[in-house]
A and B are shown apart, each in its own frame.
Chain A
Amino acid sequence: MKVLIYPPNSLILADLVERRGHEAIVLMKEVAKKVRDPELDSPPMNITEEDLKRSLKYLSVEEPSGVRGRVGLMIPLLDDAEAAIIVEDPDPSFGCMACDVANDYIEYMIRSKGIPTLIVPYPYTEDAAKVMVQNVTDFLRSLRS
């Protein structure tokens, strides 16, 4: 299954998903399309005007552009997702969108999508990390391939 991870650039989460035979939906792939696109004037870039326009279907124009840009970038990932894993309040080194408002809204969008979703707190100790990995593993096993 296509499993969206959040934070969407967490290498650890992506690795866990791939190891269990699923496809991780990650932000790096979306940004990579822009970096490699020969039609973009000045790559590498993270965001295009189209991403900002896309987010207008979900957010008001009065929303700050950085929030709209992040949400716009995530919409294709959300459209593809068949399941999701959200790690709440992660350390920035684990994966990061750098915007609390965008984080909250994207997590809300994931939960509202109605797909199988695992929400786990970020582990700050080794024992908690083991529990988190076990929970993620159990969740991934429960998903049909």
Chain B
Amino acid sequence: MEDKTRIAQISCGTEYSGVQAKLNEVADRSGIKLIYPEVELEDVADAVSEFGYLAKSPGLNLMIARAKSVVEDPSVTDGIFLLTCFKCAEGSIVKNEVRKYLQQKTDLPVVTYSTVDQVKEGGLMIRFEALKTLVTRKTLLMRTRQEGITMGVDSGSSTTKCVIMKENEIVGTGWVPTTDVIQSARKVMDLALKEAGMKEENIEAVAVTGYGRHTIGDEIKADLVQEELTVNSKGAAYLADRQRGEATVLDIGGMDNKALTLNNAIPDDFTMGGVCAGASGRFLEITARRLGVDISELGKLALQGESRSIQMDSYCSIFGIQSLVSALGEGSSKEDVAAAACRSVAEQVHEQQLQEIDLREPIIEVGGTALIEGLKAAFEEILGFDIIVPPYPQFAGAVGGALIVSAFVK
């Protein structure tokens, strides 16, 4: 169909991985037409020479030449889907350098992926949807300053958040555990309005994101209903004052996690989900309850403990808690148990989620768990990077929504 978004597939190995048919099928369902930038074989050597990296694999050199072809004429495509086989050492290097090259030389959105023979449809679909959003809502996402009076509502799996912004300042917030999706949204909106000293009619535009976005969006007639990847990216980069250049956003939520890599506050790769609740805020909540402390105290407690003094036999939330209970029974201190729980979450996120993306500095930690100081410290120790926790980290999605939707303010 003519109105499909054209996305250039720049890849190596997809045909021989047996995934090309799946790529085409999912792209088609997402309203995307995959195209392959044209390259003459005799131009490959020149392209590689100019790029500066001669790969041993001719398929990767062809990738470089295709990237150069897009740089020379970006009008051939609306965005780029860049992929190589998972765990290909040379492929991973070329993919990363080609991504930087494309982002430096063009304004096209780039999303990356590593293929395995059994590709997960969900992972592909969300990337194509994000590419589609990045193309069709580009002007919205380029907004770096909030204007007028706007509201962002983030309906998360564990908590619902609301932020009201006025002329680039946060003037009201609301936060409640998610129960009924609409009632929870109404509650946080009331809380934020009360704090801001405003009435609903003062709000000029509303954005909704998170799991319940469609239900709430219909109920309150939101101006913008947006998936959380792009909104959280914008919110995190805005709060951390890192809207230009590269960054990684770690969003450890109550039930699922996101790790997103950004270029100029626009996401270009991400990993979502998590294998087990043991890698989420819920595990830390259970730990806090078992230790008899409030979740807000767990982080400070962890900073005083020594995480390595407790052997965690499993990352599973159930067996993980058993390890911690056993440690308490054997006389370990609360501080050590809190530190071990934080380290366990950080290790699992690192080993099972961050394997799929290339980390870029600075790392911005958002989500409710960013307020747990011990988790930040555990990530810093494991990753070897300083981590930024911006103000209002738990409201990143709502802030991103309020920021973007200010484009609707007349």
- List the interface of chain A (C-beta within 8 A of B): 50, 53-54, 56-57, 59-64, 67, 100-101, 104-105, 108, 111-112
Question: Given A104-B55, A104-B56, A108-B53, does the pair A63, B383 have CB atoms closer than 8 Å?
Answer: no
Bound Cα distance A124, B50 (Å): 28
Q: Are the CB atoms of B354 and A61 closer together than 8 Å?
A: yes
Question: Given A53-B383, A53-B384, does the pair A61, B89 have CB atoms closer than 8 Å?
Answer: no
Bound Cα distance A100, B52 (Å): 16
Q: Are the CB atoms of A60 and B52 closer together than 8 Å?
A: no
Q: Are the CB atoms of A62 and B87 closer together than 8 Å?
A: yes
Question: Given A54-B384, A111-B52, does the pair A60, B90 have CB atoms closer than 8 Å?
Answer: no
Q: Are the CB atoms of A61 and B359 closer together than 8 Å?
A: yes
Interface membership of chain B positions 310-349, coded 1 if the CB is closer than 8 angstroms to chain A and 0 otherwise: 0000000000000000000000000000000000000000
Q: Which residue of B lies closest to A101 (CB)?
A: B89
- The SS class assigned to the A binding surface is helix
Which of B87, B93, B359, B361 gathers the greatest number of chain A CB atoms within 10 Å?
Answer: B93
Which of chain B's residues 74-132 have a Cβ closer than 8 Å to chain A?
86-87, 89-90, 92-93, 95-97, 114
Q: Are the CB atoms of A61 and B358 closer together than 8 Å?
A: yes
Q: How far is the CB of B364 from chain A (nearest CB, A)?
A: 16
Bound Cα distance A67, B355 (Å): 15
Q: How far is the CB of B339 from chain A (nearest CB, A)?
A: 18
- Check if B357 is an interface residue, CB within 8 A of chain A: yes
Which of chain B's residues 300-317 have a Cβ closer than 8 Å to chain A?
none
Bound Cα distance A116, B18 (Å): 45
Q: Are the CB atoms of B56 and A64 closer together than 8 Å?
A: no
Q: Are the CB atoms of A63 and B93 closer together than 8 Å?
A: yes
Bound Cα distance A67, B68 (Å): 26
Q: How far is the CB of B146 from chain A (nearest CB, A)?
A: 32
Which of chain B's residues 272-311 have a Cβ closer than 8 Å to chain A?
none
The 9 sampled A-B contact pairs (Cβ below 8 Å) are A54-B384, A56-B359, A56-B385, A57-B361, A61-B356, A61-B357, A61-B359, A62-B86, A112-B52
Q: Which residue of A lies closest to B87 (CB)?
A: A62
Question: Given A53-B384, A108-B52, A112-B52, does the pair A59, B355 have CB atoms closer than 8 Å?
Answer: no
- List the interface of chain B (C-beta within 8 A of A): 52-56, 86-87, 89-90, 92-93, 95-97, 114, 354-359, 361, 383-385
Report A-chain residues with C-beta under 8 Å of the C-beta of B56.
Answer: 100, 104
Question: Given A100-B56, A111-B52, does the pair A105, B114 have CB atoms closer than 8 Å?
Answer: no
Report A-chain residues with C-beta under 8 Å of the C-beta of B357.
Answer: 60-61
Q: Are the CB atoms of A60 and B96 closer together than 8 Å?
A: yes
Which of B86, B358, B385 gathers the greatest number of chain A CB atoms within 10 Å?
Answer: B358
Report A-chain residues with C-beta under 8 Å of the C-beta of B114.
Answer: 62
Q: Which residue of A lies closest to B350 (CB)?
A: A61
Q: Please tell me which one of the listed residues B54, B55, B92, B385 contacts residue A60 in the complex, with CB atoms under 8 A apart.
A: B92
Q: Are the CB atoms of B90 and A101 closer together than 8 Å?
A: yes
Report B-chain residues with C-beta under 8 Å of the C-beta of A108.
Answer: 52-53, 93, 97
Q: Which residue of B lies closest to A50 (CB)?
A: B384
Q: How far is the CB of B262 from chain A (nearest CB, A)?
A: 16
Report A-chain residues with C-beta under 8 Å of the C-beta of B354.
Answer: 61
Q: Which residue of B lies closest to A102 (CB)?
A: B89
Q: Are the CB atoms of B87 and A64 closer together than 8 Å?
A: yes
Bound Cα distance A67, B385 (Å): 20
Q: Are the CB atoms of B92 and A63 closer together than 8 Å?
A: yes
Report A-chain residues with C-beta under 8 Å of the C-beta of B93.
Answer: 59, 63, 101, 104-105, 108
Bound Cα distance A40, B72 (Å): 51
Q: Which residue of A lies closest to B88 (CB)?
A: A62
Top 7 A-B pairs, shortest CB-CB distance: A53-B384, A60-B358, A101-B89, A108-B53, A60-B92, A61-B355, A64-B89
Q: How far is the CB of B18 from chain A (nearest CB, A)?
A: 20
Q: Are the CB atoms of A62 and B54 closer together than 8 Å?
A: no
